Amino acid sequence: MSFSFDIYDFTSFTKWIDVSLTSYCTPFWAMIWEMLIIGVAILIFYAVVGLFLVYAERKVCAFIQNRVGPNRVGPYGFIQTVADLVKLLFKELVTIKKADKFLFNLAPFIVIIVNFMVIAAIPFAKGLHAVNFNIGIFYMMAVSSMGVIGILLAGWSSNNKFSLIGAMRSGAQIVSYELSVGLSMITMVILAGTMQLTNTYDPVTNQVLVHGIVDLQKDGWFIFTGHLPAIIAFVIFLIAGTAETNRGPFDFAEAESELTAGFHTEYSGIKFALFYLSEFMNMFIVASIAATIFWGGWMPFHLGHIFGDWVSGFNNVMDYIPPFVWYIGKTFVIIWIIMLFKWTFPRLRIDQLLTLEWKYLLPINLINIILMALVVLMGWHF
């Protein structure tokens, strides 16, 4: 099979890698090599996006506060975060007396591994995803909530009361807000009728075997086709997702004014950097899930055929923008909204946090699910 690279459809490219690898070695070793390639690719993607997000956060924060932000290292301060990372790499890893050494060292890796596991299921572009489960959404929900184990371990093993309180708060917060995240995702699953993220095709006939959530948004993103209940679910998902990533205004796990730095008080050097990066990657993951299930992931902006025949021309123009650009664009718009949350709203109190979840988000969410079920049953969606 000859080399082929199509920026609009990565299926042939990934197939070329697979075929050429199996021609050199046995299928088992080909699989090992593929896993290795994907692992390295995701690792690089992780580092690049994480560093860029730290930079973006500082710039967004600066612009909102009428400042300039980092602008000394590189053009527009672009490699400031790389310099920060190099500094963190050189710093001493302080070992704490009477800390549980094994768990203390394990905790940042659990947080990172959980991030990787979620990223594996995200469809970045057409034909560009590591795994395509038939329960993709469910898998993402289940795996992303495991990150709290790393935070709890970090707090517990640090032998520090502030860390422990921070970890406990984080646990309470994530357990509450996981409900809202899950229920708002279920609302969209009702509309989609599937949990799979992208289509699977029959290898011989090229027929669609199972429809995926991204491909189902070909005639309009779910936030438009699902109208009112989808918009409500989107708002709830954004709020609950922000809370789940322990970001401001819900940063109770860190709470620098009360708990020094919460669960990562005792961490230094690169171990701290891992926590810091994973926090930003959590935000990226929440934003990309939101982009995938509400705004169509890599699917270009298409209008449905109810508007008339002229939309096919419009849709063709939109198709010229590569899917990867659509995906990254949508994700970064949502990331920008989440950053705007942090730099606009003051922090909540812990009781306000729980009130917001249990008295507002959860009941609205439950009613919204019934509404969405009604809309789907009656065929009121587009």
Partner 1 sequence: MKSIIEYISGIYRGLRSLLIGMSVTGKYFFSPRAIVTQQYPENRHGHGKRSKKQLVMFDRFKGEVVMPHDANNQHKCTGCGICEINCPNGTIEIISVSKVGEDGKKKRAIEKHIYRLGMCSFCALCVKTCPSKALEFSQEFEHAVFDRTKLVKVLNKPGSSLMKGVE
Indicate whether 228 belongs to the interface with partner 1 (CB under 8 A): no
Q: Which stretch binds partner 1 (CB under 8 A): 15-23, 63-71, 97-105, 151-159?
A: 63-71
Indicate whether 354 belongs to the interface with partner 1 (CB under 8 A): no
User: What's the closest the beta carbon of residue 258 comes to partner 1, in angstroms?
Assistant: 23
The nearer residue to partner 1, 140 or 353, going by C-beta atoms, is: 353
The nearer residue to partner 1, 307 or 360, going by C-beta atoms, is: 360
Burial class from Cβ neighbours inside 10 Å (0-12, 13-18, 19+) for residue 307 reads: exposed
Per DSSP, 5 falls in state -
Neighbours of 291 (CB within 10 A): 26
Look-up: residue for tokens 């090599």?
33
Exposure string (b/e) for 261-290, b if CB count within 10 Å is 16 or more?
A: bbbbbbbbeebbbbbbbbbbbbbbbbbbbb
Are 41 and 49 in contact, with CB atoms under 8 Å apart?
no
Indicate whether 63 belongs to the interface with partner 1 (CB under 8 A): yes
User: What's the closest the beta carbon of residue 216 comes to partner 1, in angstroms?
Assistant: 29
The nearer residue to partner 1, 316 or 355, going by C-beta atoms, is: 355
Out of 17, 21, 64, 328, the only residue in the binding site for partner 1 (CB under 8 A) is 64
CA torsion 341→342→343→344, rounded to 10°?
A: 40
Indicate whether 95 belongs to the interface with partner 1 (CB under 8 A): no
Out of 13, 116, 343, 380, the only residue in the binding site for partner 1 (CB under 8 A) is 343
User: What's the closest the beta carbon of residue 147 comes to partner 1, in angstroms?
Assistant: 27
Task: Name the strand (E) or helix (H) holding 209.
Answer: strand 208-210
Indicate whether 345 belongs to the interface with partner 1 (CB under 8 A): yes
User: What's the closest the beta carbon of residue 60 comes to partner 1, in angstroms?
Assistant: 7
The nearer residue to partner 1, 304 or 363, going by C-beta atoms, is: 363
Indicate whether 67 belongs to the interface with partner 1 (CB under 8 A): yes
Q: Per the omega criterion (within 30 degrees of 0), is the bond before 249 cis?
A: yes
Restricting to residues 43-62, name those near partner 1 by CB under 8 A: 60
Indicate whether 29 belongs to the interface with partner 1 (CB under 8 A): no
Look-up: residue for tokens 């990254």?
328
- What residues are paired with 216 via a beta bridge? none
Q: Would you tell me the crossing angle of helices 269-293 and 161-192 to the nearest 10 degrees?
A: 20
Indicate whether 268 belongs to the interface with partner 1 (CB under 8 A): no
Residues at the contact surface with partner 1, assessed by CB under 8 A = 60, 63-68, 71, 340-341, 343-345, 360, 364
